Structure 1
Amino acid sequence: MLCNSLLSRFANQKNIKKRGNEIMQGLVLVGSAIKPESVKVQTLLENPTVANMVKKIKQYRDFADHELEVFDAYQFEGKIKDRENSLKRGEGAVLALKDQSVSLNILFAESGQEKQVHITGFVIQEDNDKQYFYKFQAKGQDIKLVLATEFDGKIKEQYLSNFDQKLFKYDENFKYGILDNENEVEAHISWKDGCLPGGYKWCGGKCHNYPDSGGDGSVINEVDACCMLHDYCYRYDWNTVDGCDDSLCECVKPYSYWAALFIQLYFCD
């Protein structure tokens, strides 16, 4: 397994210098659910980037726009701790067909004066009694196919797991600017262990599962494994490891877990 191979390389390098017992200060993310009925699907579809994504997906599975429903909607604010100009805030929504054969994860984010639109689109296509799975990513007007594979096994499991829970709980006291006040952050983080929701053991600020710090070193899925490698990359001064963030971005690209989209938003621009 790739992850085990990389970890063994870390463990066996004699010239590795450990950066003390500190944990890499990663992504801190807060937010609140929005009532789905307050989100106007047609308004979202009028956005040029969203419209382009829908047009691309319809090449693989045809459907009517009115069939898309709001599965989840939220406000969010996040930053990479101790990294300048990493604060981004905005709104997100997950649109999907009832049978989940098509879904769009949409993020509208602001960073200073810059406005960004990040969309990941998924479609399941039927062909000769087989199902195929496609993942598209859009940034601006550019839409790329990043994954095409049979829809079975692990691919099926990871995609459908996105519909098991909503991203954020409803927080009536949520407001933008929470991350400007350290005393307020803890009260608004939905996950008190510092890990992103969904059972992650390595993804999120102060989130780790190091065996030498009481953990068992395990991961819950492929994205969690990417975060683990990212943490190890930053934990050690190893002169053969460059571009920890770039490696993280490449690592999460093929996966359909919602956490991958937020990692790309904050680490990959």
Structure 2
Amino acid sequence: MEVKSEQRELGVLEKEFLLSKLNDNEKFIKIKKFLAEQGLLTEAELKISRAYQVMANIYSGVTVEVSLGEGYQIWYSKFDVLNTNEGYEQVIGVHVQNNLEKQYEVKDGVVKLSKELSVDEEVVEQDEVSAQDNCWPHGNWCGPGCSGPGAPVDALDKCCMYHDNCYAINGYSSCQCDYDLLDCTRGMSGWAANIVRTTFILAQIAGYCV
């Protein structure tokens, strides 16, 4: 079975409502408080920089990036796996400085450093490599219906291209192809890389791959 999905950007009022709900979320509160205690943000700096509703044939939910000022974000994703009682919620505090991305998550009730990643600035050096306008979340290869044919725009897009080629050889819903994609993107920084990983974690929760 092929995963089919569509997404739409949330409107201004939807973003305002979602931000008010996030301010009641326990993990969001803990991460925001942690960053505030480090002197990294003020309440006035909080705003949603991007937010999408994602609807697929195996899951649905929202994914959000909240800006806390230059170099600081909180990434929030919440999805329900359709026709099951399974769900997935992720809250990550992000600090980017000097080409280093630090990610913080709540574990055992405490905010802890979960990842420390080099910011990947690799871009394929071809004439003018540009992303397709309708590809979400990234590039020419990352996302349903985004199988090129343009060149990959960066290292993340290359991983997605390899994944698409793997599906072409082994068929859709190949677990090994999905595992290889997760491994390929494991050390990659950035919001789009996190969304790609989240998508295929959801597919595994749904029992999609075989």
Specify the code of the residue in structure 1 equivalent to 2:63: G
Which residue among 118, 124, 141 is the counterpart of 1:202? 141
- Per-residue deviation, 1:94: 1.7
Q: Contact conserved, 2:31 with 2:106, CA < 8 A, in 1? A: no
Q: Which runs of no fewer than 5 residues in structure 1 stay unpaired?
A: 1-23, 80-86, 126-130, 158-189, 210-214
Which residue among 75, 84, 92 is the counterpart of 2:63? 92
Q: Name the TM-score, length of structure 1 as normaliser.
A: 0.56
- Per-residue deviation, 1:258: 3.2
Distance of 2:176 and 2:32 partners within structure 1: 33
- Per-residue deviation, 1:225: 0.9
Distance of 2:91 and 2:45 partners within structure 1: 19
Matches within 5 A, 1:1-269: 25-26=2-3, 28-35=5-12, 38-39=16-17, 41-57=19-35, 62-79=40-57, 87-99=58-70, 101-111=71-81, 112-125=84-97, 131=98, 133-136=100-103, 138=105, 145-149=114-118, 154=121, 191=134, 195-196=135-136, 198=138, 200-209=139-148, 215=149, 218-237=151-170, 243-269=176-202
- Per-residue deviation, 1:203: 1.6
Specify the code of the residue in structure 2 equivalent to 1:110: D
Distance of 2:166 and 2:92 partners within structure 1: 27
Distance of 2:41 and 2:201 partners within structure 1: 32
SS in 2 for 1:154: coil
Q: Which runs of no fewer than 5 residues in structure 2 stay unpaired?
A: 124-132, 203-210
SS in 1 for 2:136: coil
Distance of 1:243 and 1:65 partners within structure 2: 44
- Per-residue deviation, 1:62: 2.5
SS in 1 for 2:121: helix
**In the superposition, relative to structure 1, how do residues 250 and 144 fare at CA in structure 2: closer, same or farther (>3 Å)?**
farther
Distance of 1:254 and 1:61 partners within structure 2: 27
Give the number of aligned pairs: 186
Specify the code of the residue in structure 2 equivalent to 1:147: E
Q: Which structure is higher in RCO with an 8 Å CA cutoff and minimum separation 6?
A: 1
Q: Contact conserved, 1:122 with 1:133, CA < 8 A, in 2? A: no
Percent of aligned pairs sharing the same letter: 21
Distance of 1:260 and 1:243 partners within structure 2: 19
- Per-residue deviation, 1:133: 2.5
- Per-residue deviation, 1:56: 5.0
Q: Contact conserved, 2:30 with 2:106, CA < 8 A, in 1? A: no
Distance of 1:75 and 1:242 partners within structure 2: 26
